Structure formats: C-alpha cells, structure tokens
C-alpha cells in the first residue's frame, strides 16, 4: 500500500488506517475472532496505522490482546478524552490505564480527544503541557496531537498552542469546511504535521445508496466507480492528507478500501472528476436535513435516546425520498429505535437535559433536531402500539411461522 511521510516524526504511514471504533460485534460485544482476522488481513495488505480511543468501548483492551503479535508492524494511535479530565492527576491515571489496556510501554501517537479552543484552554489550566512533556520524558508516548471538533475559525489558534506532531480532523467532500477547512489543512501541513482524517464517508452516508439524482451523476461520469470510491479518492487526492481512517467491520469493506487507497495518489483526480463531486455536493446539500455524521460522540444519552440512529433515519427519509406512511425509513425507525427489535431509543424519550450539546462535533442543536425526528416518525399512542406489536403481534407472527416450518 502507498505510504505518506510525516515530516515531524519521520514515520511513513499507510494512506488507509484501520479505525477501531466500529469493530464487528457479536451479542453486543466485540467479535474478537472476526476483528482479529480483519486486522491481520489489513496488516498483510500494508495498513500500518490502527486508531482507537479510551472511549471506544472495549477496543483498547481487545487490541492489547493481539498487539504482542503485530506491534512491530503497526503504529498505534489512541486518545485522551478531554471530557474526562477534571484535574491534572486524571490525565496521568487515564494514560497509565490505557497503557495497561493496550499491554504496551509506549504509545506511538497520543491525541487529546475531541477538543476545541475552549477544551484546550481548560486543559492548559490543568497543566496539559506539563503532562505531555512528562509523558514523553517517561517514554510513555512518542508523538502528540489532537483530534479537532471545533469551528474552522479556531483551528489555527489551537494549532499554535503547542508544537503538535499530528492532528485528526473530520474531512469529506460534503463536510469540506466544517472543521479545519482546506486552508487549515494546508497550514498544518506547512508545519510538517501528520494529518489523519476521520469520517471520510460521513458515517457511511457517502458510501451507501445515494439519492437517485446523485447516482445518475456518478454513473454518468464513471459507471465503474462506487460511491465509496468517489469519497475516498476525493480525500486522498489532497496530498497534504497523511491517512484516511475507516471503521471497517467486514472483509468486503476492507478490501474495497484497500484497493481505493492503493491506487489514489495526490492530484490523481481529473478536473472533470472534481467537477462531478462539486455537482453531487450541491445536490446532497439540498436534500440533507440534519448535518449529522453519526459519529456517536453525543452518546450515551441519559434518557436512552439513540441520537445517531434517529438522525440518520430522518436524513435518509429525505435523501432517498422515502414516501408513504409505512415507508422504509418509518419501518426502520420503529425497528431500530422503537424497541421492536431491541432497546428503545426513539427521539420522544428526549427530556432536553442538554448533556449531548457540548459533545457534538457539528455543534448541532440536538434537542431541536430530535423534536423534528419525533414529529416525523412518532404517531400518537406510539408507546402502546409498540408494546402491542412487541408482546402480542410478534409472538403470534413467530408462532405461525413455526407452524408453517413444520
């Protein structure tokens, strides 16, 4: 696989990195056998960057189980959750816990997780610089950076706050200017920093089935390219991007992304291809109602609302022009967040506590957006309808299916 050099660290990093946020699950937990097979397959195909975080469930502990066998082949990137730091001692405690989880002595790339200018200033008051320097001197971390979740206007200010080695940003053709912007990326690159990209597919929206008008535009331009091809190529076409992180949980996703990353070089897209993407962006912006990437940073919700899924289903209704009372989005809403097939996580459970607001990278007014979702999908008496379906309707349905099978 192609690799790109980080000037400040001297490391050559694969243009595709393995994001461990969305590892395959089995019974609600990481499917360790499948996840291990995926990561080994990724390494065999040239991927040498694995990204995780303290807040990614059991991800660090799982990686710790397999790292002894692969550590010489990969760079590990993990993150200190800014939101969990109340005092200086918290930073040292969390880092030591992460080293224990990962079963290593030193972390290659350590990022301050989900920061904006306000968060960085709060951490600076708690001696962040002292913590970084001590961790480096003690040999617990090699390189330092931050994952940015603030407005583009503050990006360069945070960049100047320390001699950072890397930065992680959300960047895709739909969210080109939502965080760092092209100017911010160029500025970070001019300092020799590595630039890791999260959400290249905007939570999968840019890889799945697209609005019919978008599909026509892409197929007319090149019938052999998938939607994921267009999205990944657009990001990697920028030579200042070091690596694109993708949360791959199937071999099909992994192999497709490896093929794209292996063939895309800086400035490899033609002018006509770039024009095609610009046209698609205009069409998409006219259709997307909520600018949510389904990153999940707003979770968990104290009331149990599955915020990312609620947002995604609302967006999909309009993106894919689902019509009629029992359209696909409506059915999916009751299936995935209504409690029929699992936990209840519908928008109507929101009590406007506001705890999600400060955690959203997009600075969405989640409370107001959930009101829209509730109005769109939730019918009067929903609670009783769901209870009837779940406890009466489905048992009867399963009983008749059982009879038919016999």
The string of DSSP letters for 284-325 reads HHHH-SS------TTPPPTT---HHHHHHHHHHHHHTT--ST
Mean pLDDT calculated for residue range 254-279: 95
pLDDT in the model for residue 179: 81
- pLDDT over 80 at 264, yes or no: yes
| 133/117 Cα distance (integer angstroms) | 20
pLDDT in the model for residue 404: 47
Beta-bridge partners for 112: 80, 146
Beta-bridge partners for 75: 49
Identify the CA nearest to 109 among candidates 240, 9, 188. 9
- Beta strands 166-170 and 141-148 are parallel
Q: Per-residue pLDDT tens for 59-113?
A: 999 999 999 999 999 999 999 999 899 999 999 999 999 999 999 999 999 999 9
Mean predicted lDDT score pLDDT of the chain: 90
Instruction: For residue 329, name the pLDDT band (cuts at 50, 70, 90).
Output: confident
- pLDDT over 80 at 53, yes or no: yes
DSSP notation for 215-237 = HHHHHHH-TT--HHHHHHHHHHT
| 76/61 Cα distance (integer angstroms) | 13
- With H, G, I as helix, E, B as strand and everything else as coil, classify residue 122: helix
* CATH 3.40.50.12780 for domain 3-286: no
- pLDDT over 80 at 186, yes or no: yes
Identify the CA nearest to 256 among candidates 45, 48, 24. 45
Which residues, other chains included, contact 171 with Cβ-Cβ below 8 Å and sequence gap of 6+?
A: 179, 180, 185, 197, 198, 199, 200, 235, 241
pTM of the model: 0.79
- With H, G, I as helix, E, B as strand and everything else as coil, classify residue 261: helix
Where do you find CATH 3.20.20.100 in the chain?
3-286
Query: pLDDT above 70 covers what percent of the chain?
Result: 93
- The 3-state secondary structure of 180-191 reads CHHHHHHHHHHC
Most confident option among 244-253, 321-330, 332-341:
244-253
| 187/160 Cα distance (integer angstroms) | 10
Instruction: For residue 391, name the pLDDT band (cuts at 50, 70, 90).
Output: low
| 221/244 Cα distance (integer angstroms) | 24
Mean pLDDT calculated for residue range 175-185: 86
Q: Per-residue pLDDT tens for 125-158?
A: 999 999 999 999 999 999 999 999 888 889 999 9
Most confident option among 63-67, 331-335, 402-406:
63-67
Most confident option among 340-344, 378-382, 401-405:
378-382
- pLDDT over 60 at 10, yes or no: yes
- Integer CA distances (angstroms), 126 to 89, 165, 213, in order: 9, 21, 51
């Amino acid at each position: 696989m192609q690799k790109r050099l980080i000037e400040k660290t001297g490391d050559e990093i694969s243009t595709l990195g393995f994001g461990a946020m969305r590892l395959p699950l089995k019974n609600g937990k990481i499917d360790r056998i499948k996840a291990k097979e995926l990561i080994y397959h990724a390494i065999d195909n040239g991927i040498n960057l694995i990204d995780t975080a303290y807040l990614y469930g059991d991800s660090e502990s799982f990686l710790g189980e397999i790292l002894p066998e692969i550590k010489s082949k990969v760079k590990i990137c993990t993150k200190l959750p800014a939101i969990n730091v109340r005092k200086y001692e918290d930073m040292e405690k969390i880092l030591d816990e992460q080293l224990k989880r990962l079963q290593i002595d030193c972390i290659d790339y350590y990022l301050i997780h989900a920061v904006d200018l306000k968060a960085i200033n709060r951490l600076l008051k708690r001696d962040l610089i002292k913590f970084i320097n001590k961790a480096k001197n003690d040999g617990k971390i090699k390189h330092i950076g931050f994952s940015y979740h603030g407005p583009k206007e503050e990006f360069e200010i945070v960049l100047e706050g320390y001699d950072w080695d890397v930065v992680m940003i959300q960047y895709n053709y739909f969210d080109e200017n939502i965080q760092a912007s092209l100017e911010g990326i160029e500025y970070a690159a001019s300092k020799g920093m590595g630039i890791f990209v999260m959400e290249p597919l905007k939570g999968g929206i840019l890889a799945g089935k697209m609005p019919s008008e978008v599909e026509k535009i892409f197929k007319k331009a090149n019938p052999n390219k998938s939607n994921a091809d267009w999205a990944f190529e657009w990001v990697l076409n920028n030579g200042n991007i070091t690596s694109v992180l993708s949360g791959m949980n199937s071999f099909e996703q992994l192999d497709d992304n490896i093929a794209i990353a292996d063939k895309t070089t800086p400035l490899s897209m033609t002018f006509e291809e770039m024009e095609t993407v610009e046209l698609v962006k205009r069409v998409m912006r006219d259709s997307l109602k909520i600018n949510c990437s389904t990153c999940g940073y707003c979770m968990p919700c104290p009331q149990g609302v599955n915020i990312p899924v609620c947002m995604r289903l609302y967006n999909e209704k309009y993106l894919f022009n689902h019509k009629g009372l029992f359209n696909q989005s409506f059915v999916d809403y009751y299936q995935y967040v209504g409690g029929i097939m699992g936990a209840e996580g519908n928008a109507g459970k929101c009590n406007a506590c506001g705890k999600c607001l400060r955690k959203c990278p997009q600075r969405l007014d989640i409370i107001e957006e959930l009101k829209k979702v509730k109005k769109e999908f939730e019918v009067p008496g929903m609670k009783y309808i769901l209870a009837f379906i779940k406890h009466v309707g489905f048992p009867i349905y399963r009983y008749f299916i059982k009879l038919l099978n016999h």
